Every structure is written in C-alpha cells, then in structure tokens.
C-alpha cells in the first residue's frame, strides 16, 4: 500500500499557497479555485480510507461541491457513517495530510495517523462519492478514485447528487438490514422515502397555488424534477414550477439566483420575473439551503429565511407534541447562531416558551447541540438546517397509545415528519416539503407566516482584510477576543443605537470578515454596520 500511495501521489503534486499559509479543513471541508483541488482530493481519499478503517469498515462519504460559490470554485468534504459531518477531532488529520510538502512526507503522515489511532490497515474499507454539476467535478473525482485504488478501497461513484442525497446514502448504506434502517440504498430510495412521508404528513390536506422553485442552475433542478415525478399527484395536489434549471451552462451556476443571492441581496432572483403574491423559494447550488420569499403587487420584496423556517417548525412541532400528549415527556429545543434575527429568538423563547441555544457558525456545531434535545430544531439564517428526532422521541411516538382520533393524527403526523425531514443534514428539498406541510395544515399564505413576528432591521457586510486569522472570537462568535481593542470599539458604537447589537467574525472560506448589525430602524442598522465595518477594516489592514 505504501508503495502504491507513493507512486500515485507523484501524479498529484500539492500546490503551496505561499506566504506561510496552509490549507485548512473547515465547515465546508476544503473549498477554493478548482484548479488547486486535484491533489487535495487525492489526499482526502487517503483520509477517507483511514476513516473507514478506523470506523471498523463502515462506509464513508466524500462530496465534491462548492455549494453557493461561483462555478470556477469547487470543494471536497467527508461524510461520517451516520450522515454527519466529519468528526471535528479528525479535521487536524485532514489538514496535516493535505499540507504535506512532498510525497514522502505524505506517506509519513499517513503512517503516523494510522499508528497514532491504532488503525488496522488490512481491514476492508468502503467509500461512496457524489458531486454537483461543476465541470471540474469529474477530474476531482478521478483524483479521489486514484487514492482509493492505491489503498484497495471499495468505491461507488454515484455521479450527480445533491449534498443531502449523499448524506442520505451514507447513512442508508451503514444501516442497511438492521431495525434502524434509514431507507433504501439508492437515489430512488431517497425519493420514495420523501414521497411516502410527504403524503402521510399532509394527512389529506391540499396545497393551494403554485410554488416556484429557483434551483440556482444547480444540481437541485434535475433532482427536484425526479422527485416530483415520483410523487402521486392524485394523493397530494402539489404544483411546482422549476426555474433556473440550466445545468448545461456552467457559468450560470448561482449567478444572480439561488438561496445565497436572495439572502445576501435581499431580493428575488433577477430572472424570471416573480409572479406578484406568488409563493417562491430558492435552493443553493448543492441544494442544502432554502429561502422562501414573495413580492407584492407593488413589487415589494419579502423574505422568509432560515430563522423563519426554524420558528415555523418550532411552532408546528410544539403544537403536535402537545396534541400527542407528550409535552411533558419530549423536550423540544431550538439552536441558532449569532446571525439569527433577535426577533426570532424572542418569539421562540418568549412566545413559544422553548429553549434557544446559540452556537458558533457552522452546521456541525448546531447539529451537535441539537442532538441534546428529544426534538432538536436548527437552522442558520442562510437557510441551512434540519430537525433531529432522538431515538427516545421516536420510541415514544411509536409506543404511545392514542386516546382519541385527534391524538392519533398528531402521533401519525410526527412520525411522518421524522421520515420526511432529512436528519443527517440540511436538505432544501426535504425542508421545502416540511414548510409546505405546515402551511397546508395551518391554511397559511407566506404573508400569514411572516406576521408571526416582525424582524428587527439588519445588515450584513463583507470586508476584505489582509489576514482573516487575526480575528478570534468568543461567546459563540458574538464577541471578538482578538485583535485587542476591536471589541471595545464595537461596543461603543452599539451603545449609540436603540435595540442594537453587532458582531464581526472571520469568514470560514474567504480571506474576509463579516459584520452583522441589528437596530430599531433600517437606517440605524445600515449606519451601525458601516461603522463596525470601518473598525474591522482598520484592524484587518494594519
């Protein structure tokens, strides 16, 4: 094996970043310009082999995607056996392998990891892979394949997949044949599971009107179309218009459309022209983010982001749990990041009376905390999130004997939702279906949904800096611990505005910082954001 790795590695020389910088495995794995990624994908393949062997031959996933980034970018990340993100303790091993300067050093680090973790390199190993629609994908998968061939790893390339579909397939593969089977091990199995759960969760309700889905010209378009073909329309009246579905022309991926565009620009995609008062939503390039929105007759734009989806799910699930007679038995909680609008936090904690916990940005942090609840709801404001049902919660739903038809309905719908919601990771298709189920049950329009609370005006600003690593945070990324003095200046600015808060944090994928600001009015939120941005710019470019 060592000789095979050494020989194959010579085809994938690592490109040094220069300036003393190193490649780092973050929330999105490794993500950058695609021309740098082939040697990184090769080395991630070696790590996937080690991870599979370490996990006693369980199947590991590798996803090649750059999500909402422009088409010239790409990325690679590992999926753990139950569909989770790579265990955080292993990120340092990914970073060490990728930054090995020579082929000989790479083999040395590979052997050191195996020795340190007492990994049996003779165990059978298995890896499955998927990729989004970027033209760089096949070349990167080829590099991954070479690493897996060098380590004699069984490998299945599923080709085009949404990121959530790969997470589903990893978990389904590792639970196949046992009582906790997650679903059939196939892409069709994913569609069948969602379709069946959607019909059960609707419980006879019908959906009014057409939903327009902007797929960011990414992988979500063909996969959503396949799902809709698997859905029996005689059982549920779900009319969907798929737009921005051009996966043939690479340059239009995420261009002026998609969930990230809608969230950051706070406007509808540039094309097609939205239907006034119509119901619309947007996916991102790999279909793991979801944002809802509409425009009124005067073309005024209104957005329902991840905070809104989180609060809607909390409202509905809380009512169902109470109706099922399990309010005292099942603990429901909501996990947010510092980017969550303060009004959503107040609504959930004060009106719905549910606990809210703030974590650092990145779904791996939210997912981990959500697992501490019987029903854990987490969404980032960008629309990435899901709902987790604990084994105890599922057991309670299955074993509770209903005392009335209404209680039985609540139990049945909760069980259906546990199948409908992709519990491995945020899934735009799955989350969209969850939203449609809730709106149908409540008989709400998007305007009705928006009236549950009023968002505090807010602004998000991106600032390019000389070195983002100068900025360190504490208190779930809500305060800067470094550079010294920067947080004091931010605090002084916040005091000048009513109902205000602001924080700054380094980007996980770019050499930049992001500033978030809230205040009582839009003009004050804009002014606060600009003032804090100037502080960050000054400290970041000294």
Residue 293's alpha-carbon distances to 268, 280, 298, 377, 436, in angstroms, are 7, 5, 15, 21, 13
Residue 216's alpha-carbon distances to 186, 225, 229, 249, in angstroms, are 25, 14, 20, 12
Strands 472-474 and 154-160, by their bridges, are unpaired
Task: List, as residue ranges, the binding site for substrate.
Answer: 380-382, 505-509, 514
DSSP code, position 473? E
344 is catalytic: no
Task: List, as residue ranges, the binding site for Mg(2+).
Answer: 67, 284, 286, 288
Q: Between vectors from CA 496 to CA 491 and to CA 498, what angle results, nearest 5°?
A: 105
Torsion sign (Cα): 330, 331, 336, 342: positive
- DSSP letters along 420-433, please? HS-TTS--HHHHHH
Residue 157's alpha-carbon distances to 129, 137, 172, 490, in angstroms, are 5, 12, 16, 49
Separation of alpha carbons 499 and 517, rounded Å? 11
Torsion sign (Cα): 49, 54, 59, 62: negative
CA-wise closest residue to 291 among 258, 242, 328: 258
Contact call for residues 164 and 202 (beta carbons, < 8 A):
no
Annotated active-site residue in 67, 282, 390, 502:
67
Cβ-Cβ contacts under 8 Å for 55 (sequence gap 6 or more)? 80, 81
Cβ-Cβ contacts under 8 Å for 145 (sequence gap 6 or more)? 45, 155, 157
Task: Tell me the Cα Rg of the chain.
Answer: 23
Task: List, as residue ranges, the binding site.
Answer: 67, 284, 286, 288, 380-382, 505-509, 514
Contact call for residues 108 and 9 (beta carbons, < 8 A):
no
Residue written as token pair 């797929």: 215
Separation of alpha carbons 333 and 352, rounded Å? 10
DSSP code, position 90? G
| Residues labelled as active-site residues | 67
């Amino acid at each position: 094996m060592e000789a095979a790795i050494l020989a194959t590695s010579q085809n994938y020389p690592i490109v040094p970043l220069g300036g003393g910088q190193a490649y780092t495995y973050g929330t999105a794995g490794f993500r950058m310009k695609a021309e740098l990624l082939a040697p990184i994908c090769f080395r991630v393949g070696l790590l996937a082999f080690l991870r599979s062997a370490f996990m006693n031959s369980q199947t590991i996933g590798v996803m090649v995607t750059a999500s909402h980034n422009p088409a010239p970018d790409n990325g690679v990340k590992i999926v753990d056996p139950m569909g989770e993100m790579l265990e955080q303790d292993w990120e340092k091993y990914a970073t060490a392998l990728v930054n090995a300067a020579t082929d000989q050093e790479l083999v040395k680090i590979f052997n050191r990891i195996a020795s340190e973790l007492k990994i049996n390199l003779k165990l059978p190993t298995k890896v499955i892979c998927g990729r989004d629609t970027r033209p760089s994908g096949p070349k990167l998968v080829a590099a991954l394949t070479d690493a897996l061939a060098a380590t004699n790893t069984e490998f299945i390339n599923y080709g085009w997949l949404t990121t959530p579909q790969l997470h589903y397939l990893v978990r389904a593969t590792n639970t196949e044949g046992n009582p906790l089977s997650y679903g059939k091990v196939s892409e069709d199995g994913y569609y069948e599971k969602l379709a069946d759960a959607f019909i059960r969760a609707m419980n006879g309700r019908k959906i009014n009107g057409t939903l327009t889905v902007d797929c960011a010209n990414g992988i979500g378009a063909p996969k959503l179309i396949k799902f809709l073909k698997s859905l029996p329309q005689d059982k549920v009246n779900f009319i969907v218009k798929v737009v921005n579905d051009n996966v043939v022309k690479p340059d239009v991926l995420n261009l002026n459309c998609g969930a990230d565009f809608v969230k950051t620009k706070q406007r509808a995609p540039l094309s097609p022209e939205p239907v006034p008062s119509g119901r619309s939503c947007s996916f991102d390039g790999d279909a793991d983010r979801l944002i809802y929105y509409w425009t009124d007759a005067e073309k005024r734009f209104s957005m329902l982001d991840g905070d809104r989806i989180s609060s809607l799910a909390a409202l509905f699930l809380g009512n169902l749990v109470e109706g099922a007679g399990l309010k005292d038995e099942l603990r429901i909680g909501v996990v947010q990041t510092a980017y969550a609008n303060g009004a959503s936090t107040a609504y959930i904690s004060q009106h719905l009376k549910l606990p809210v916990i703030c974590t650092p940005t990145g779904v791996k942090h939210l997912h981990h905390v959500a697992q501490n609840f019987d029903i854990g709801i987490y969404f980032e404001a960008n629309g990435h999130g899901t709902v987790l049902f604990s084994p105890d919660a599922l057991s309670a739903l299955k074993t509770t004997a209903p005392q009335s038809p209404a209680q039985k309905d609540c139990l049945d719908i909760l069980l259906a939702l546990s199948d409908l919601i992709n519990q491995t990771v945020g899934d735009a298709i799955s989350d969209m279906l969850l939203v449609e189920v809730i709106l149908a049950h409540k008989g709400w329009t998007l305007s009705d949904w928006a009236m549950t609370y009023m968002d505090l005006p807010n602004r998000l600003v991106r600032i390019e800096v000389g070195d983002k690593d100068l900025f360190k945070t504490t208190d779930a990324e809500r305060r800067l611990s470094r550079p010294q003095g920067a947080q004091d200046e931010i605090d002084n600015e916040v005091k000048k505005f009513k109902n205000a808060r602001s924080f700054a944090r380094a980007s996980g994928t770019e050499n930049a910082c992001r500033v978030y600001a809230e205040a009582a009015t839009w003009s004050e939120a804009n002014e606060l954001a600009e003032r804090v941005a100037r502080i960050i710019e000054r400290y970041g470019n000294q």
